[in-house]
Amino acid sequence: MTEQATTFRPRAVIFDLDGLLIDSEPLWQRAEVEVFNALGVPLKPEMCYQTVGRRIDDVAEFWYARYPWDGPPPAEVATRIVHRMVELISTEAEPMPGAIEAVEALAEAGLPLAVATSSPQVLAEAALMRLGIGGWFEAVCSAQHEPYGKPHPAVYLTAAGRLGIPPAHCLVFEDSVNGLIAAKAAGMYCVAVPYPAWRDNPRFVLADEVIESLTDASTILSSIITSG
């Protein structure tokens, strides 16, 4: 953690969800591969990185544009994937390293917290229930309710509005490039915590800080807490 991180004093903290708080990316890959393969789309797990951070309806449209299928429209396919994800999240998902500790430390310090996710609201609620940390967040915002998903900043701006804190005073933790772009476009300070599978993406240089996991956020968290 650099000196720059200790000079920013946020008044609120906004977390992404998938791949940051909960290790759901392998589950998304399973659900997407299962559903798209059944439609004849030759999707492989390693191809899923192309749509990381996007809303599931955008993902369905993305693959339909490349491999048009006969059968259900993309919107229905997206719903099938969400249903499968609810099953997987509720039974298999685990927290990312340091996630629960970071959320609890910030909440106990009195900072308002929000989630800003590309996942549908039902998945966000299921994930937070699985982790047992839903009660710490004053707002859980899904890009499902926005005109555009990440990398558009809408969901982050909504989260700041729900918290009543100007975007420039919000600290964001993000694991994907699309999410990082969204947070920066919203005018927020963004600490990137790249999901291991795409840690080498050079575009993470856009972040204000880059750390390997929320476990490594101890310096910035300590600074925030002790500064009041």
Catalytic residue, from 16, 58, 175, 208: name it: 16
Backbone phi, psi, residue 189, to 5°: -80, 125
Q: How confident is the model at residue 96 (pLDDT cuts 50, 70, 90)?
A: very high
CB 172 within 8 A of CB 143: no
Measured CA to CA, the distance from residue 221 to residue 6 in angstroms comes to: 9
The DSSP symbol for 73 reads: -
Return the pLDDT at 185.
Answer: 98
- DSSP state at residue 222: H
Residue 228: what pLDDT?
54
Q: Is 16 a catalytic residue?
A: yes
Domains and CATH numbers, the chain: 3-23+94-227 (3.40.50.1000), 25-92 (1.10.150.240)
More confident residue, 206 or 196: 206
Residue 175 pLDDT:
95
Report d(CA 32, CA 52) in Å as an integer: 12
Residue with the two structure tokens 């559903």? 35
Confidence of residue 198 (pLDDT cuts 50, 70, 90): confident
Please say whether the beta carbons of 87 and 24 come within 8 A. Answer: no
pLDDT per residue over 21-61, tens digit each? Answer: 999 999 999 999 999 999 999 999 999 989 988 999 999 99
Paired sense of beta strands 139-142 and 170-174, if any: unpaired
Residue 2 clears pLDDT 60, i.e. is over it: no
pTM over the 0.85 mark: yes
Examine the pLDDT at 8 and tell me if it is beyond 90.
no
> What is the predicted pLDDT for the residue at 156?
98
Give the chain's mean pLDDT.
92
